[in-house]
Amino acid sequence: MRLHKKGLSTLTKLVREEPALWMGHPLKRKEDRRLLTGLGKFVDDIKLPGMAYAAILRSPYAHARILGIDVSKAERLEGVVCTLVGEEVAKLTDPFLQISSPPANKLKDYCLAVGKVHFAGEPVAAVVAETRSTAEDALELIDAEYEAVDHVLDAKEALKPGAPVIHEEVGSNVVFRGKWDYGDINAAMKQADKVVKKTLHFHRFSSTPIENNAVLAQYDKATGFLNVYSNNQMPMFCIPWVSFALKFPSNRIRMVTGDVGGGFGTKIISYPYIVLISLLAMRSGRPVKWIETRTEHLSAANHGNERMFEVEIPVKNDGTILGLKVKAWDDCGAYTRYEPAGATIWAQVTPGCYRFKNFQMEFLQVMTSKCPVGPNRGYSRMQHLWMIERSVDIVARELGLDPTEVRLKNFIRPEEMPYVTPSGGVYDGGNYPESLSRVLKLIDYWRWRKEQVEERKKGRLIGIGISTILDSGTNNFGQVKITNPENPFSGNSEGARISIDGLGGIQVALGTSPQGQGHETFASQVVADEFGVSPDQVTVLMGFDSAVNPYSHQSGAYASRCAVMGTGALLGAAKKVKEKAAKIAAHVLKADPESIEFKEGHAVDRDSGRKIPLWQIGNIAWVNNVLLPEGMEPGLVAIHFWRPDFGLPDEKWRLNQTLTYSYQSHAAVIEMDPETGKFKILKYAIVDDCGKQINPMIVEGQVHGAAAHGIGAAMYENFEYDEDGQLKSSTLVDYLVPTALEVPDLVTESMETPSLFAPKGIKGVGEGGGTPISAIANAVEDALTPYGVEISDSHQNPQRIYELIVKKRKKM
Partner 1 sequence: MTPKKFAYFAPASLKEAIQLLRVNEDAKVLAGGQSLIALMKLRLAAPAALVDITKTGDLLSYIREGKGHLEVGALTTHDTLERSKIINKKFPILSDAASKIGDQQIRNRGTIGGSCCHADPAADLPTALTALESEFVVRGVKGKRVIPQSKFFVDTFTTSIAKDEILTEIQIPHTPPKSGSAYIKHSRREGDFAIVGVGAVVTVGPKKVCRDVRVSLGAVASTPIRAKSAERHLKGKTLDEGNIAEAAERANEEADPPSDMHGSRQYRLDMIKVFARRALNLALSRAR
What does the binding site for partner 1 look like in residue numbers (CB under 8 A)? 132-133, 136-137, 140, 293, 295, 675-676, 678, 716, 718, 720, 728-729, 731, 733-734, 736, 738-739, 741-742, 798-799, 802-803, 806
Provide the 3-class DSSP secondary structure of residue 636: coil
List of residues 6+ apart from 810 with CB closer than 8 A: none
If you count DSSP H runs as helices and E runs as strands, how many of each does the chain have, helices first? Answer: 21, 29
| Beta carbon of residue 373, minimum distance to partner 1 (angstroms, whole number) | 20
* Spatial separation of the C-alpha atoms in residues 637 and 577, rounded to whole Å: 6
Nearest to 74 by CA among 133, 140, 145, 123: 140
* Spatial separation of the C-alpha atoms in residues 459 and 157, rounded to whole Å: 42
* Spatial separation of the C-alpha atoms in residues 692 and 390, rounded to whole Å: 30
* Spatial separation of the C-alpha atoms in residues 124 and 117, rounded to whole Å: 8
Residue pair 408/372 in contact (Cβ under 8 Å)? The answer is: no
| Beta carbon of residue 697, minimum distance to partner 1 (angstroms, whole number) | 27
| Beta carbon of residue 717, minimum distance to partner 1 (angstroms, whole number) | 10
Using left for φ > 0, alpha for ψ between -120 and 50, and beta otherwise, residue 352 falls in left
Nearer to partner 1, 547 or 740 (CB): 740
Nearer to partner 1, 415 or 723 (CB): 723
* Spatial separation of the C-alpha atoms in residues 776 and 792, rounded to whole Å: 12
- CB neighbours (10 Å) of residue 737? 15
| Beta carbon of residue 738, minimum distance to partner 1 (angstroms, whole number) | 7
* Spatial separation of the C-alpha atoms in residues 369 and 726, rounded to whole Å: 10
Q: Rg of the chain's alpha carbons, rounded to an integer?
A: 28
Nearer to partner 1, 119 or 721 (CB): 721
- CB neighbours (10 Å) of residue 371? 26
Nearer to partner 1, 70 or 136 (CB): 136
Please confirm whether the linkage preceding 418 is cis (ω < 30° from 0): yes
Nearer to partner 1, 244 or 802 (CB): 802
| Beta carbon of residue 533, minimum distance to partner 1 (angstroms, whole number) | 43
Nearer to partner 1, 250 or 293 (CB): 293
* Spatial separation of the C-alpha atoms in residues 713 and 334, rounded to whole Å: 22
- Which residues make beta-bridge pairs with 216? 229, 289
Nearer to partner 1, 193 or 734 (CB): 734
Nearer to partner 1, 56 or 466 (CB): 56
| Beta carbon of residue 132, minimum distance to partner 1 (angstroms, whole number) | 6
* Spatial separation of the C-alpha atoms in residues 480 and 495, rounded to whole Å: 22
* Spatial separation of the C-alpha atoms in residues 440 and 775, rounded to whole Å: 13
Nearer to partner 1, 124 or 311 (CB): 124
Nearer to partner 1, 150 or 803 (CB): 803
| Beta carbon of residue 702, minimum distance to partner 1 (angstroms, whole number) | 24
- CB neighbours (10 Å) of residue 788? 12
- Cα-Cα-Cα-Cα dihedral of 220, 226, 231, 235, to 10°? -150
Report phi then psi at 67, rounded to 5.
Answer: -85, -30
Nearest to 530 by CA among 556, 498, 486, 561: 498
Question: What distance lies between CA 66 and its chain's CA centroid?
Answer: 35
| Beta carbon of residue 115, minimum distance to partner 1 (angstroms, whole number) | 27
| Beta carbon of residue 296, minimum distance to partner 1 (angstroms, whole number) | 9
| Beta carbon of residue 3, minimum distance to partner 1 (angstroms, whole number) | 49
Nearer to partner 1, 233 or 718 (CB): 718
Nearer to partner 1, 312 or 717 (CB): 717
| Beta carbon of residue 206, minimum distance to partner 1 (angstroms, whole number) | 16
* Spatial separation of the C-alpha atoms in residues 703 and 473, rounded to whole Å: 14
* Spatial separation of the C-alpha atoms in residues 172 and 167, rounded to whole Å: 7
Rounded to whole angstroms, what are the CA distances from 558 to 105, 320, 353?
24, 35, 23
* Spatial separation of the C-alpha atoms in residues 233 and 67, rounded to whole Å: 36
| Beta carbon of residue 285, minimum distance to partner 1 (angstroms, whole number) | 24
* Spatial separation of the C-alpha atoms in residues 593 and 596, rounded to whole Å: 5
Please confirm whether the linkage preceding 514 is cis (ω < 30° from 0): no
| Beta carbon of residue 136, minimum distance to partner 1 (angstroms, whole number) | 6
| Beta carbon of residue 795, minimum distance to partner 1 (angstroms, whole number) | 11
* Spatial separation of the C-alpha atoms in residues 244 and 111, rounded to whole Å: 13
* Spatial separation of the C-alpha atoms in residues 598 and 498, rounded to whole Å: 15
Amino acid at 598: F
Nearer to partner 1, 67 or 733 (CB): 733
Report phi then psi at 374, rounded to 5.
Answer: -165, -175
Burial of 563 (0-12, 13-18, 19+ CB in 10 A): buried
Nearer to partner 1, 28 or 728 (CB): 728
| Beta carbon of residue 799, minimum distance to partner 1 (angstroms, whole number) | 5
| Beta carbon of residue 28, minimum distance to partner 1 (angstroms, whole number) | 27
Nearer to partner 1, 317 or 676 (CB): 676
Nearer to partner 1, 549 or 729 (CB): 729
